Amino acid sequence: MHFISFEKEDQLAGIINNSGYSVIFKHNTTCPISKAVRSDFEVEAPVLLEGVPVYFLDLLAFRNISDAVAESFNVKHESPQLLLIKDGKCTYNDSHYDISAGRAAAAMLND
Is the pLDDT reported for residue 57 higher than 80? Answer: yes
**Rounded mean pLDDT, 84-106:** 96
Alpha carbon of residue 99 to chain centroid = 10
Per DSSP, the three-state class of 27 is: strand
**pLDDT tens-place string over residues 7-36:** 999 999 999 999 999 999 999 999 999 999
CATH number, domain with residue 31: 3.40.30.10
Across the range 36-54, mean pLDDT stands at: 95
Reading phi first (left if > 0) and then psi (alpha if -120 to 50, else beta), residue 82 is in beta
Between CA 64 and CA 105 the distance in angstroms is 28
Kindly report the pTM of this predicted structure: 0.95
Domain that includes residue 74, residue range:
3-109
For the chain, give the longest Cα–Cα distance.
34
Quote the number of domains for the chain: 1
Q: Determine the average pLDDT of the residues in 66-87.
A: 96
The pLDDT value given to residue 2: 72
3-state secondary structure of 29: coil
